[in-house]
Chain A
Amino acid sequence: MQPPDTESRRRRLHRASPRLKLLVTLLFIIPTALLPRHPDLLYLIPAGILILVWPFTRMPLSHALRRLWVVEVFILGIALLALVSPEAVPIFFATLFKSNLCVFAMLLLTWTTPFQDILQELRRWRFPSVMLTTLALMYRYLPVLREESRRMSRARASRTFRRRRLAAWQDLSLIIGQLFVRSADRAERIYLAMCARGWK
């Protein structure tokens, strides 16, 4: 399931100012991430805030769980290292909890704020123009390149009769290499198309 884009602005929070949402998220995450290492009743405050806000965003639990699962690997991996300190176990859980709260807050942000709006906000904050152009073009061509890589993978798979790991690495490398070549060619054509409409 994809987060909504500019086309689906029915929900209230989705229509709220992106600047507000970004700032609120930042103001939430910074103190939460920097909460004291030891578990504390303080932890309940950010948790409570998230639980209160969540229904308004209409973010489905399945989406949240799926994304949290991906990040959990990193969180657990590093949190396990924290087990070395004397008060290991409570700190482990505290770090786990804090981290997941922050991820959840980011999920709420990304669910309610289309990336284009975030880009607009960054533009207002005088983000460097080279980066803004790069981000915009990247956002535009991600699906195009993803589809190209899928097509190449499928074409390759339809002629793969014996699955061998090393061969898979070679095939993948060929596909990625080819993807780069095609991207470079496309970038050249994009440049021409932009010039054709007066870009300097």
Chain B
Amino acid sequence: MSTAVEVRQLSYRYPQNGRLALDELSFSVAEDECIGVLGPNGAGKSTLLLHLNGLLPEHAPAAPNLWIAGEPILSRNLDLIRQRVGLLFQDPDDQLISATVFEDVAFGPRQLGVEGAILKSLVAHCLAQVGLSGFEERQPHRLSHGEKRRVCLAGVLACKPSVLVLDEPTSDLDPRGRREFKALLQSLPGAKIIATHDLELVVDLCSRVLVLDDGKLVAEGPTVKLLSNEPLMLAHGLEKPHSLLHRHPHGPIAGEPENGGTDI
């Protein structure tokens, strides 16, 4: 399996106060792998995500620290990187800027030169993928929070990225919205990097987990093993998810369902 994302010794200081936000981070993500990024607030999760599609640092470094499918992130290929890496922001209102759903989903492809009938069918396809067929003429502020999230995802998918990066995708969703979004994510191919506090989501979707604290990568490994390590979790502002409370780290206890009891 080839590497979808490679990060080598990535560091970043906030320009306002010089504080170290990321400290020599190194990890890699394989094609079709889904990894979770965990950590307390302020650990640097969102900052890391912004690096993954070149939005940070403000001025691209001379020597690259990030590679997307083998392509280094440099100032000259930012356009390519931004198309390859789809970033879903935490607050859908920040991403949904256009007057109608159609306009917003079409925003990305239009930058790439797609127009006319092809654009229309692309938008329809992406909306169908997220379960919002027929929403083209709807206005953003009339949509529910979950629907806005899904429109944002459609807008990101419309750029045909090979890597999906998601910042707190299930925050503020009601249980049904959360289940639907989780099922949606499960259906999408390609590498996925999910920064989240939703530990149950990580258990269900991610095969591997990174734990960040104070800008450093403090732990990395298989999801169940790492999340079952209660001392480690508590030391970094997290906790052992309920679904693993009665589960052995190396496999299910005889008689327990594979997923530890969580629903679809």
Chain A contact residues, CB within 8 Å of chain B: 5-7, 116, 119, 136-137, 139-141, 143-144, 186, 189-190, 192-200
Contacts and interface: CB of A to CB of B under 8 A. Distances in A.
A192 B139 contact: no
Contacts of B138: 7
Contacts of A144: 93, 141
B137 A195 contact: no
Interface of B: 50, 53, 55, 79, 82-83, 87, 89, 91, 93-100, 107-108, 111-112, 137-141, 155-156, 159
B55 A197 contact: no
A193 B108 contact: no
Greatest chain B CB density within 10 A among A194, A198, A200 is at: A198
A146 B116 CA distance: 35
| Chain A interface mostly | helix
Given A116-B99, A189-B89, A198-B111, A5 B156 contact: no
Nearest to A115: B99
Greatest chain B CB density within 10 A among A116, A144, A196, A200 is at: A196
B100 A6 contact: yes
Contact of B97 (A7, A116, A190): A190
Contacts, number: 67
B82 A193 contact: no
B99 A195 contact: no
Contacts of A5: 139
A183 B111 CA distance: 26
A192 B112 CA distance: 17
Contact of A137 (B79, B91, B97): B97
- A-B pairs with lowest CB-CB distance, top 4: A198-B111, A197-B108, A189-B94, A143-B141
A196 B53 CA distance: 7
B94 A193 contact: yes
Contacts of B91: 189
Given A140-B99, A189-B94, A195 B55 contact: yes
Nearest to B108: A197
B141 A199 contact: no
B52 to A, nearest CB: 10
A7 B140 CA distance: 12
Contacts of B139: 5-7
A198 B94 contact: no
Contacts of B97: 137, 140, 190, 193-194
A139 B91 CA distance: 18
Greatest chain A CB density within 10 A among B89, B100, B138, B139 is at: B139
Contacts of A137: 97
Nearest to A139: B99
Given A116-B99, A139-B99, A196 B82 contact: yes
Greatest chain B CB density within 10 A among A5, A116, A193, A197 is at: A197
A89 B137 CA distance: 51
Contacts of B79: 198
Nearest to A194: B97
A119 B100 CA distance: 13
A190 B79 CA distance: 18
B99 A193 contact: no
Contacts of A143: 141
A186 B79 CA distance: 23
A197 B159 contact: yes
A196 B78 CA distance: 10
B94 A186 contact: yes
Contact of A140 (B98, B108, B155, B159): B98
A192 B49 CA distance: 12
Given A6-B137, A143-B141, 17 more contacts: A140-B96, A140-B97, A144-B141, A186-B93, A190-B95, A192-B55, A192-B89, A193-B87, A193-B95, A197-B111, A197-B155, A197-B159, A198-B79, A198-B82, A198-B108, A198-B159, A199-B107
Contacts of B82: 195-198
Contacts of B53: 196
5 contacts: A140-B140, A186-B94, A197-B107, A197-B156, A198-B111
